[in-house]
């Protein structure tokens, strides 16, 4: 009886190895994984690829813009401060005009231009100061919107890419079960294609989302720091106007 049981088990094991040997090999290179995917999973990958290109473009654009704004603002601040200290309003406006990408220069230019529009002669009135302050506030809002350009899309990509990848995972699992039902086999070869398809879309979704979320948080902190700098510059400029009115 024992010998008969061992012989039967050996036959079953041999049959399993033969079935595994007959199962088609599943490749895991990008080309082979793409070939194993269904149309719906391919559509998910294409959408994620487009989202990754979009987020990369936003990241590069904002990084270059913020770097230029920081550099020009550092050069602009001491120059305009020196011009205003000596009472050379026109020179301060010219310095601001040369710093096209500086967030501080754009705000200060608006305030100085509005202040000068009332004329250089005569006493400085409260209406003149209030008008300059409103110009500063309006320009701050405009510059803030320019600084945040593209960040909303980056946040959307970071929050939705994992769910799109998860959708691809569900499609891959369904494909695996469909292969099991069609081939009427339960070996790993029957589900390897669907499982690999599911894992690829999940990994791709995370690969797109993680950099988008990290850079969104980084750029948001940068924008908040720029906002503080603009508020301080506006406040200092209004204080300068008030001091000039008391002279």
For the chain, give the mean pLDDT: 79
Note the pTM of the prediction, 2 decimals. Answer: 0.76
pLDDT the model gives residue 128: 85
Residues ≥6 apart with Cβ < 8 Å to 63: none
* Interval 189-203: pLDDT, tens: 556 656 766 778 888
Between the two ends of the chain, the Cα-to-Cα distance in Å is 116
DSSP 145-175: HHHTTTHHHHHHHHHHHHHHHHHHHHHHHHH
**Position 123 pLDDT exceeds 50:** yes
The 3 state secondary structure assigned to 61-73 is HHHHHHHHHHHHH
More confident residue, 82 or 157: 157
Q: Does residue 19 have a pLDDT over 50?
A: no
Contact yes or no for 165/44 (Cβ under 8 A): yes
* pLDDT tens-digit readout, 152-179: 999 999 999 999 988 888 877 877 777 6
- Nearest alpha carbon to residue 218 among 49, 50, 66: 66
Q: Please report the pLDDT score of residue 147 as a whole number.
A: 93
Look up tokens 């339960």; give the residue: 186
Question: pLDDT grade, residue 26 (50/70/90)?
Answer: very low
Share of the chain above pLDDT 70, in %: 77
3-class secondary structure, 8: helix
CA torsion sign, 21 to 23 to 24 to 27? negative
Q: Residues 209, 157: contact at Cβ < 8 Å?
A: yes
Predicted pLDDT at 180: 72
């Amino acid at each position: 009886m024992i010998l008969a049981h061992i012989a039967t088990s050996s036959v079953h094991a041999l049959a399993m190895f033969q079935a595994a040997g007959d199962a088609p090999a599943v490749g895991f290179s990008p080309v082979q994984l793409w070939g194993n995917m269904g149309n719906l999973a391919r559509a998910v990958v294409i959408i994620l690829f487009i989202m990754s290109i979009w987020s990369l473009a936003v990241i590069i654009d904002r990084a270059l813009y913020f770097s230029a704004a920081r550099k020009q603002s550092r050069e602009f601040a001491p120059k305009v401060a020196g011009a205003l200290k000596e009472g050379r309003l026109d020179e301060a406006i010219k310095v601001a005009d040369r710093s096209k990408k500086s967030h501080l220069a754009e705000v200060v230019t608006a305030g100085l231009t509005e202040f000068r529009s009332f004329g250089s002669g005569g006493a400085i009135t409260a209406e003149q100061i209030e008008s300059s302050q409103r110009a500063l506030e309006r320009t701050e809002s405009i510059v803030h919107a320019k600084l945040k350009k593209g960040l909303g899309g980056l946040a959307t990509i970071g929050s939705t890419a994992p769910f799109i990848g998860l959708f691809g995972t569900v499609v891959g699992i369904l494909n695996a079960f469909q292969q099991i039902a069609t081939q009427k086999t339960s070996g790993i070869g029957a589900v390897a294609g669907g499982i690999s398809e599911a894992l690829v879309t999940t990994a791709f979704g995370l690969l797109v989302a993680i950099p988008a979320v990290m850079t969104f948080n980084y750029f948001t902190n940068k924008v908040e720091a720029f906002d503080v700098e603009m508020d301080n510059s506006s406040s200092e400029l209004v204080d300068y106007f008030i001091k000039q009115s008391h002279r």
